[in-house]
Protein backbone atom coordinates (compact mmCIF):
# COMPACT_ATOMS: atom_id res chain seq x y z
CA UNK A 1 0.00 0.00 0.00
CA UNK A 2 1.34 3.44 -0.88
CA UNK A 3 2.10 6.20 1.63
CA UNK A 4 -0.92 8.34 0.68
CA UNK A 5 -3.38 5.52 1.31
CA UNK A 6 -1.66 4.68 4.61
CA UNK A 7 -2.04 8.32 5.68
CA UNK A 8 -5.76 8.30 4.84
CA UNK A 9 -6.33 5.11 6.83
CA UNK A 10 -4.35 6.43 9.82
CA UNK A 11 -6.32 9.69 9.69
CA UNK A 12 -9.66 7.82 9.60
CA UNK A 13 -8.64 5.56 12.48
CA UNK A 14 -7.76 8.59 14.64
CA UNK A 15 -11.50 9.40 14.60
CA UNK A 16 -12.41 6.03 16.19
CA UNK A 17 -14.24 6.68 19.44
CA UNK A 18 -15.49 10.11 18.36
CA UNK A 19 -19.16 10.35 19.42
CA UNK A 20 -21.84 10.62 16.77
CA UNK A 21 -23.01 14.22 16.46
CA UNK A 22 -25.25 15.15 13.58
CA UNK A 23 -23.63 17.68 11.15
CA UNK A 24 -20.46 17.93 13.29
CA UNK A 25 -16.87 17.38 12.17
CA UNK A 26 -14.60 17.69 15.22
CA UNK A 27 -12.33 14.78 16.08
CA UNK A 28 -12.94 13.38 19.59
CA UNK A 29 -15.84 15.83 20.01
CA UNK A 30 -18.41 14.67 17.46
CA UNK A 31 -19.14 13.89 13.83
CA UNK A 32 -21.54 12.19 11.48
CA UNK A 33 -20.44 10.16 8.45
CA UNK A 34 -19.95 13.25 6.29
CA UNK A 35 -18.10 14.98 9.12
CA UNK A 36 -15.71 12.04 9.37
CA UNK A 37 -14.85 12.23 5.66
CA UNK A 38 -14.55 16.02 5.88
CA UNK A 39 -12.13 15.64 8.80
CA UNK A 40 -9.99 13.11 6.96
CA UNK A 41 -10.00 15.42 3.92
CA UNK A 42 -8.74 18.34 6.04
CA UNK A 43 -5.92 16.22 7.44
CA UNK A 44 -4.71 14.62 4.21
CA UNK A 45 -5.72 17.08 1.47
CA UNK A 46 -6.14 20.49 3.14
CA UNK A 47 -8.97 22.98 3.18
CA UNK A 48 -12.39 21.64 2.30
CA UNK A 49 -13.33 22.44 -1.31
CA UNK A 50 -16.83 23.66 -0.42
CA UNK A 51 -18.83 24.29 2.72
CA UNK A 52 -21.23 21.53 3.66
CA UNK A 53 -24.71 23.05 3.64
CA UNK A 54 -27.05 22.43 6.55
CA UNK A 55 -28.96 19.20 5.99
CA UNK A 56 -31.75 17.27 7.64
CA UNK A 57 -31.99 13.49 8.09
CA UNK A 58 -34.32 13.28 5.07
CA UNK A 59 -32.41 15.79 2.91
CA UNK A 60 -31.58 13.36 0.13
CA UNK A 61 -35.12 12.08 -0.24
CA UNK A 62 -36.73 15.51 -0.01
CA UNK A 63 -34.43 16.96 -2.67
CA UNK A 64 -35.08 14.02 -4.98
CA UNK A 65 -31.49 13.79 -6.20
CA UNK A 66 -28.13 12.20 -5.52
CA UNK A 67 -26.75 15.12 -3.53
CA UNK A 68 -24.04 13.10 -1.77
CA UNK A 69 -22.91 11.23 -4.89
CA UNK A 70 -22.91 14.44 -6.92
CA UNK A 71 -20.60 16.07 -4.35
CA UNK A 72 -18.36 12.99 -4.30
CA UNK A 73 -18.03 13.16 -8.10
CA UNK A 74 -17.10 16.85 -7.86
CA UNK A 75 -14.27 16.35 -5.37
CA UNK A 76 -13.04 12.75 -5.58
CA UNK A 77 -12.11 10.38 -8.40
CA UNK A 78 -14.69 7.66 -8.95
CA UNK A 79 -13.29 4.13 -8.93
CA UNK A 80 -15.08 0.90 -9.87
CA UNK A 81 -16.41 -0.72 -6.70
CA UNK A 82 -14.75 -3.99 -7.70
CA UNK A 83 -11.40 -2.13 -7.64
CA UNK A 84 -11.86 -0.35 -4.30
CA UNK A 85 -8.65 0.05 -2.34
CA UNK A 86 -7.81 0.85 1.25
CA UNK A 87 -8.21 4.60 1.72
CA UNK A 88 -11.12 4.96 -0.70
CA UNK A 89 -14.37 6.60 0.38
CA UNK A 90 -17.44 4.41 0.09
CA UNK A 91 -20.96 5.77 -0.42
CA UNK A 92 -23.96 3.68 0.59
CA UNK A 93 -27.71 3.50 -0.02
CA UNK A 94 -29.86 2.28 2.85
CA UNK A 95 -32.48 1.08 0.35
CA UNK A 96 -32.25 0.42 -3.40
CA UNK A 97 -34.79 3.10 -4.31
CA UNK A 98 -33.28 5.81 -2.06
CA UNK A 99 -30.38 8.18 -2.73
CA UNK A 100 -26.98 7.43 -1.21
CA UNK A 101 -26.67 9.06 2.20
CA UNK A 102 -23.96 7.28 4.16
CA UNK A 103 -20.16 7.31 3.87
CA UNK A 104 -17.24 5.30 5.18
CA UNK A 105 -13.49 5.11 4.61
CA UNK A 106 -12.18 1.70 3.53
CA UNK A 107 -9.28 0.49 5.68
CA UNK A 108 -8.93 -2.74 3.69
CA UNK A 109 -10.92 -4.62 1.09
CA UNK A 110 -13.08 -5.98 3.91
CA UNK A 111 -13.25 -3.21 6.56
CA UNK A 112 -14.13 0.47 6.92
CA UNK A 113 -14.26 3.28 9.45
CA UNK A 114 -17.61 5.04 9.67
CA UNK A 115 -19.86 7.09 11.94
CA UNK A 116 -23.50 6.23 12.42
CA UNK A 117 -26.31 7.43 14.62
CA UNK A 118 -26.33 6.04 18.14
CA UNK A 119 -22.67 4.98 18.21
CA UNK A 120 -19.12 6.29 18.17
CA UNK A 121 -16.95 6.20 15.07
CA UNK A 122 -15.82 2.61 14.68
CA UNK A 123 -14.07 0.23 12.32
CA UNK A 124 -16.35 -2.53 11.06
CA UNK A 125 -16.41 -5.34 8.55
CA UNK A 126 -17.99 -4.35 5.25
CA UNK A 127 -19.49 -7.83 4.88
CA UNK A 128 -22.72 -8.65 3.08
CA UNK A 129 -24.78 -6.05 4.96
CA UNK A 130 -22.73 -3.07 3.81
CA UNK A 131 -21.37 -4.65 0.63
CA UNK A 132 -24.77 -4.88 -1.04
CA UNK A 133 -25.47 -1.23 -0.21
CA UNK A 134 -22.37 0.31 -1.85
CA UNK A 135 -23.46 3.00 -4.30
CA UNK A 136 -20.00 4.23 -5.25
CA UNK A 137 -16.30 4.22 -4.39
CA UNK A 138 -14.04 7.26 -4.63
CA UNK A 139 -10.34 8.03 -4.28
CA UNK A 140 -9.11 11.16 -2.54
CA UNK A 141 -7.52 13.72 -4.89
CA UNK A 142 -3.92 13.03 -5.78
CA UNK A 143 -3.95 9.44 -4.53
CA UNK A 144 -2.07 7.16 -6.85
CA UNK A 145 -1.82 3.39 -6.78
Does 94 map to a domain? yes
Which of 5, 28, 54, 7 is CA-nearest to residue 115? Answer: 28
> What pLDDT shows up at residue 89?
98
What is the pTM for the complete model shown? 0.94
Domain residue limits at 89: 3-50+65-139
What is the number of domains present in the chain? 1
**pLDDT by position in tens, the chain (length 145):** 799 999 999 999 999 999 999 999 999 999 999 999 999 999 999 999 998 877 766 665 566 688 889 999 999 999 999 999 999 999 999 888 888 999 999 999 999 999 998 899 999 999 999 999 999 999 999 887 7
91 phi and psi angles, rounded to 5 deg: -110, 140
Residue 133 belongs to a domain with what CATH number?
Answer: 3.90.1720.10
Does 59 map to a domain? no
Does 144 map to a domain? no
Amino acid sequence: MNRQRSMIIAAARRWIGTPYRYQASLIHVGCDCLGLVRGVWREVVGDEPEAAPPYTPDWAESLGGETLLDAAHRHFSAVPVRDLRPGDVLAFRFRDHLPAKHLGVATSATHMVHAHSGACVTEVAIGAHWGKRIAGAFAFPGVED
